[in-house]
Amino acid sequence: MLAHILEAIEKVGNKVGSKVVNKLPNITDKQQIIINSMKINPKISATKLAEIVGISKRKIEENIDNTKSKLKHTLIKANKP
């Protein structure tokens, strides 16, 4: 799901996409590494992300879920008048 959101952001443009991702509230360094890795390779596995970040696969999945929630909330707020 996060990969699809990141792909949609990529289609809008790197400049706009970067602004949205950079405005995520309370994003951790690990979540930023996950986002950057997924931007480079949207099909990257949770196992490979776990190796890159240095945490368990389960923690990667939790971080992705948390990041998706933050991104959805940020996008909803941005669309309100």
CA separation for the pair 50, 44 (Å, rounded): 10
CATH topology of domain 2-79: Arc Repressor Mutant, subunit A (1.10.10)
Q: Most confidently modeled of 4-8, 19-23, 31-35?
A: 31-35
Within 10 angstroms of residue 38's Cβ, the number of other Cβ atoms is 19
Separation of alpha carbons 3 and 60, rounded Å? 14
Predicted TM-score of the model (pTM) = 0.65
Between 73 and 16, where is the model more confident? 73
pLDDT grade, residue 9 (50/70/90)?
low
Asked whether the predicted pLDDT for residue 42 surpasses 90, the reply is no
